[in-house]
Amino acid sequence: MATWFDESRLDDAGVLTTADLRLRALAESGSRVRRAAGDAAEACAAAVARAAEVDRPRAVLAAGPDSRLLRAVLEPWCPVPFVAWPAPALPGWVGSLDLVVVLAPDGADVGAASAVAEAVRRGCQLVVACPPDSLVAQHAAGRWSTILPTESRDQLATAVVVLDYLDRLSLGPEADAEQVAEALDAVAIACSPNRDLAVNPAKVLAIALADANPVLWGGSVLAARAARRVAEQVRRASGRSALAGDAEHLLPLIEAARPRDVFDDPFADGAADQRPVLLVLDDGTDDPLVREQRARLVGAADERGVRVEVVTTDATTEVARYASLLLSGTYAAEYLRIGLVED
């Protein structure tokens, strides 16, 4: 059964209504961050005050399946050794001198509960962001434990709560929840379904991805993580391949693209093979190595006639820029889903 992209569906009010729940969830991303920060504000302030009475931890370990997001943010900044540990069992060296941080947005993850219980048993300093009556919260009860209550069940909102706490302890970069929420609100306004194709960057990007195999790249650690998450959303939305990786891994894919022939018949047999499109997630980093890698990718794309799309952000902090890029790409993936129809 053939699948094709009908861009007129992106401005069709009736069609957009069928996707209202998913689009509304995206639009509410900023409000979920604000709500999570408000729910945890009192507990976070108390935890910061209590942490001021003890020495800085020997190391910080982020445990649980969502630990990689914290690693992307904290590794370049944390003044003490930092480790992301997605396995349910903690490494043998972790003890009472160390801080264990766990994200558990839905609170029902057995692996996170196991990690929390082990941290309590070893006497670690423990900070857990989870629903207060959840399985993880039950296992977190202990003398050196702090529960930051969150009810949103949103991974990003939960992560912002923990990152704001670590920022106050000078263990991570600035992660003000309001700045993250404002960045998400700006994307939601720009990519609203009520804005037509002429002025909606997410709809324009969806059209660019519709007849291509997306190849996504982000230069910084956080932009690279956003690229991987957006690639996952594109795969879910379209059922097509979408790859994200480092420059050296993506360059061969671009260089292998057949140069575009202006005389090709797009409707002829064999001409419908999807070409790559390079999607660059630009968070404004000025690192010379990142600039050099981007120049190589874009240069190879230009040589092979591969289209290049760039997603940018004006957010002021690293976490807000990550959130902005991720939401922009997720909106594009959703519009891609809406525009694809089957014969």
pLDDT digits (tens, 9 = 90+) for 219-265: 999 999 999 999 999 999 998 889 999 999 999 999 998 876 656 65
Q: What residues contact 37, with CB distance under 8 A and at least 6 apart?
A: 157, 160, 161, 164, 177, 178, 181
Q: What is the mean pLDDT of residues 175-195?
A: 96
Q: Where are the domains of the chain?
A: 3-19+193-342, 30-178
- CATH superfamily, domain 3-19+193-342, is Glucose-6-phosphate isomerase like protein; domain 1 (3.40.50.10490)
Nearest in space to 314 (alpha carbons), one of 201, 230, 167: 201
Give me the percent of the chain exceeding a pLDDT of 70: 95
Query: Would the CATH topology of 3-19+193-342 be identical to that of 30-178?
Result: yes
- Torsion angle of the four alpha carbons 131, 137, 140, 143, in this order, in degrees rounded to the nearest 10: 80
> Does domain 30-178 correspond to CATH entry 3.40.190.10?
no
Task: Report DSSP letters for 199-261, one per residue.
Answer: T-HHHHHHHHHHTEEEEEEESSHHHHHHHHHHHHHHHHHHSS--EE--HHHHHHHHHTSPPP-
pLDDT digits (tens, 9 = 90+) for 118-164: 999 999 999 999 999 899 999 998 888 999 999 888 999 999 999 99
Pairing type for strands 99-103 and 125-130 reads parallel
pTM over 0.85: yes
**According to the model, what pLDDT value does residue 87 have?**
81
Model confidence at 103: pLDDT above 80? yes
pLDDT digits (tens, 9 = 90+) for 281-318: 999 988 999 999 999 999 999 999 999 999 999 998 99
Q: What is the mean pLDDT of residues 1-19?
A: 89
Average pLDDT, the chain: 91
Model confidence at 56: pLDDT above 80? yes
Q: What is the mean pLDDT of residues 178-207?
A: 96
